[in-house]
Amino acid sequence: MSARRMACRLLLAGVVAGASAWPTATQAQPAAARLDTAALRTLTLGDLLDSARVADSLAAVAPAVRAKRVELTQRLTRAEVQSQRLWALGDAHVGFVTVARRRYAALSTAEAAALDTLAAILEEEVRTPLDAAVGRTRAVPLMAPVDAFNAGRRSRSMLDSREKLARFERKYGPDAPTRNGAEVALNFAAQFVPGFRANRDEWPSRAELIASYVPTYLAVPRDGGKTSAVTAAEAGVRLYIWRDGWGGKSGGALRPGFVSFGLLAAGARDGAFVSPFSGQSRIGGFVGWGAAKIGVIGGRDTRVLITRQVQLVPWVF
């Protein structure tokens, strides 16, 4: 048993042994003690179970609440999870690499539900009776594991809220790519399609549809020839990059906020502002790295095209 865990058990034993000597709720109480963030971060699920048992024995709680506490405690007896720190469990955000390398002893769905319910019962049904039984000052250390778990959840909630707002800003904010009227209508309809709609927690999808008329492509010159303008129609998908440091002014051209790809169609002849479907259309594809795009069209005269995404006429192209 670790020294920290031994100290916690001695503290809980002292709580039980000294309960009869503590002042009642009607007597004068000193200011409530507070545990700092560093101390809360060290508390484990095992500490929560110990505190729940001791608090339950001291507070005047309903028999049904006590029975529920015992039932939930029995679902959390796995040694691997009892050593998990409560702050980390409340603030859980596990990456793919961590899971793939089995570095995280994750709670099962049943264990996570039991922990959530147990923390809620201690907060809503036990804290007030415990304060009345032993006083606020002495109750604080006993409820510290609950505070640690709730602090972790608040921390994760705040981070998630900021991240969600940042994603919406990247997709729809001032630095987002401009959309024409057709794309607005298509993506409005696509919000009901899996892969394009927001998830159940209302996080935005990273994908959106592209359908645009682009008169600004330039054909790369060959064999000493001249550069010529090419008008093309694009149909594809844009994928947003949610990583920190990407997109906007901080990301710049090397780390853009989105990538794109899709089909490209150009008319039989080169030129700006011509129909991409005139004559025998030349078909190809394009890829985009942020606003920069490169495309290839085939046919009798294969051309490599480059452009930078820009909207010349608002809502049109």
Considering the domain architecture, whether residues 121 and 251 belong to the same structural domain is answered as no
* 102-107 contact pairs (CB < 8 A, 24+): 105/80, 105/81, 107/81
Asked if 143 contacts 76 with a C-beta cutoff of 8 angstroms, the reply is no
Considering the domain architecture, whether residues 187 and 299 belong to the same structural domain is answered as yes
Considering the domain architecture, whether residues 219 and 119 belong to the same structural domain is answered as no
CA contacts within 13 A on the Cβ side of 95? 4
Domain annotation covers residue 200: yes
Domain annotation covers residue 176: no
Asked if 279 contacts 294 with a C-beta cutoff of 8 angstroms, the reply is no
pLDDT exceeds 80 at position 29: no
Domain annotation covers residue 112: yes
For the stretch 188-199, pLDDT in tens is 999 999 999 998
Domain annotation covers residue 170: no
pTM: 0.67
H/E stretch holding 263 reads strand 258-266
Domain annotation covers residue 171: no
Considering the domain architecture, whether residues 117 and 159 belong to the same structural domain is answered as yes
* Range name among 20-34, 130-144, 168-182, 195-209 with the lowest pLDDT average: 20-34
Asked if 58 contacts 133 with a C-beta cutoff of 8 angstroms, the reply is yes
Contacts of 202 (CB under 8 A, 6+ apart): 164
Considering the domain architecture, whether residues 102 and 231 belong to the same structural domain is answered as no
Domain annotation covers residue 30: yes
Parent domain of 222: 181-308
Considering the domain architecture, whether residues 8 and 123 belong to the same structural domain is answered as yes
Considering the domain architecture, whether residues 15 and 55 belong to the same structural domain is answered as yes
Considering the domain architecture, whether residues 53 and 89 belong to the same structural domain is answered as yes
Q: Cα separation of 307 and 317, whole Å?
A: 14
* Range name among 103-112, 130-139, 193-202, 224-233 with the lowest pLDDT average: 103-112
Asked if 266 contacts 281 with a C-beta cutoff of 8 angstroms, the reply is yes
Of the pLDDT bands very low, low, confident and very high (cuts 50, 70, 90), residue 240 is: very high
SS3 of residue 27 by DSSP: coil
Of the pLDDT bands very low, low, confident and very high (cuts 50, 70, 90), residue 34 is: low
Q: Cα separation of 41 and 223, whole Å?
A: 67
Contacts of 143 (CB under 8 A, 6+ apart): 51, 55, 122, 127, 130
When divided into structural domains, the chain yields a total of 2
Considering the domain architecture, whether residues 134 and 27 belong to the same structural domain is answered as yes
Distances (CA, A) of 25 to 11, 30, 139: 21, 11, 11
Considering the domain architecture, whether residues 156 and 8 belong to the same structural domain is answered as yes
Considering the domain architecture, whether residues 284 and 239 belong to the same structural domain is answered as yes
Domain annotation covers residue 237: yes
Considering the domain architecture, whether residues 127 and 71 belong to the same structural domain is answered as yes
